[in-house]
């Protein structure tokens, strides 16, 4: 039997952005102080989601204690919203995200295993790219599609989008957005910047103007945890918190070092011809 249902969307916003701001004490979730807003109809937008988790990426049991697991952890936050707020049956086999509470110590190990599973499905290697994470999203949302939910993925890039902040706000109004950003420092050439890494967070609120060059965001950052000085912090979930940041569109001169050119030796040995035919991936 077919039924009308919500559409699940995993979106990502990426690009070169400038961050300013400090952490706020505002807890992300339901009930208060969170109030859902979704104004995207006028020249300005004001979107805020409630019920998004803020899981820690640094956990015992993950590779290198989750040091590079910002991507899988932030995707778990997206799945948590769809499971708890929208009631979508997302998860893996007998593990259903809507039955887990990251703040309940009794669920800590299962949440960690879920983040690990996202990493496995994404073939995660710590790089701040989104294609494989979207593959993991498709795996985790298969139970929802089997129950006649519609799922989707999408991308917005600050380097190519004519209205990056406006598109981000519209996607956020449908559900949490993963944001990929680069970390830059002064490059070797005058006035240049060189990327030295990146990070992935979950966007839970956005405020600004359509067509504008500045947007104010609230983020759930899996790398921020107030209990990092606690010897047991790898075995417990820290208190939820949000990070207030301002993104400003800027044109930068990015320095990218040239990769050394390698030559592939050519074999002079004769070989017998082999039959050719259709090939398949993984063969």
| Mean pLDDT across 40-65 | 95
- Name the pTM for this structure: 0.81
| Mean pLDDT across 126-146 | 87
CA distances 87 to 52, 118, 240, 246, Å, are: 13, 20, 21, 31
The CA distance from 42 to 62, in Å, is 44
Query: Which range, of 17-26, 123-132, 218-227, averages the lowest pLDDT?
Result: 17-26
pLDDT of residue 196: 81
The CA distance from 243 to 245, in Å, is 6
For the chain, give the percent of residues with pLDDT over 90.
53
Q: Report DSSP letters for the chain, one per residue.
A: -----PEEEEEEEEE--EEE--EE-PPPSSSTT---EEE-SSSEEEEE--S-----S--TTSGGGGTT-HHHHHHHHHHHHHHHTS----EETTEEGGG--TTSGGGHHHHHHHHHHHHHHTT--S---SHHHHHHHHHHTHHHHHTT-EEEEEEEETTT-TTHHHHHHHHHHHS-EEEEEEEEEE-SSTTEEEEEEEEEEEEEEEEEETT-SEEEEEEE-TT--TTTTSTTGGGSPPPP-EEEEEEE----EE--PPPPP-PPPPP-------------TT-
Q: Name the band, by pLDDT with cuts 50, 70 and 90, for residue 159.
A: confident
Query: Which range, of 8-12, 148-152, 164-168, averages the lowest pLDDT?
Result: 8-12
**Does the CA dihedral 103-104-110-113 come out positive or negative?**
positive
pLDDT at residue 166 above 70?
yes
């Amino acid at each position: 039997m077919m039924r009308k249902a919500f559409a699940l969307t995993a979106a990502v916003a990426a690009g070169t952005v400038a961050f300013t701001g400090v952490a706020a004490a505002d807890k992300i979730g339901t009930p208060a102080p969170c109030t859902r807003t979704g104004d995207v109809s006028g020249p300005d937008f004001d979107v805020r989601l409630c019920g998004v988790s803020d899981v820690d990426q640094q956990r015992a049991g993950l590779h290198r204690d989750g040091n590079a697991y910002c991507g899988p952890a932030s995707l778990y936050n997206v799945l948590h919203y769809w499971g708890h707020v929208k009631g979508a049956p997302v998860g893996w086999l007998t593990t259903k995200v809507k039955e887990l509470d990251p703040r309940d110590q009794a669920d800590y190990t299962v949440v960690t295993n879920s983040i690990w599973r996202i990493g496995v499905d994404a073939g995660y290697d710590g790089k701040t790219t989104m294609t494989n994470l979207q593959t993991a999203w498709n795996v985790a949302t298969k139970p929802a599609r089997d129950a006649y939910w519609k799922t989707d993925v999408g991308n917005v890039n600050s380097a190519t989008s004519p209205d990056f902040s406006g598109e981000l706000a519209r996607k956020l109004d449908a559900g949490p957005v993963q944001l990929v950003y680069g970390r830059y420092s002064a490059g070797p050439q005058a006035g240049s910047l060189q990327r030295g890494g990146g990070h992935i967070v979950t966007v839970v609120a956005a405020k600004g103007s359509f067509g504008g060059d500045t947007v104010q965001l609230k983020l759930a950052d899996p790398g921020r945890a107030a209990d990092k000085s606690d010897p047991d912090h790898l075995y417990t979930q820290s208190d939820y918190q949000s990070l207030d940041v301002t993104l400003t569109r800027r044109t930068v001169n990015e320095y990218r070092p040239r990769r050394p050119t390698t030559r592939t030796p050519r074999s002079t040995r004769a070989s017998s011809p082999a039959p050719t035919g259709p090939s398949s991936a993984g063969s």
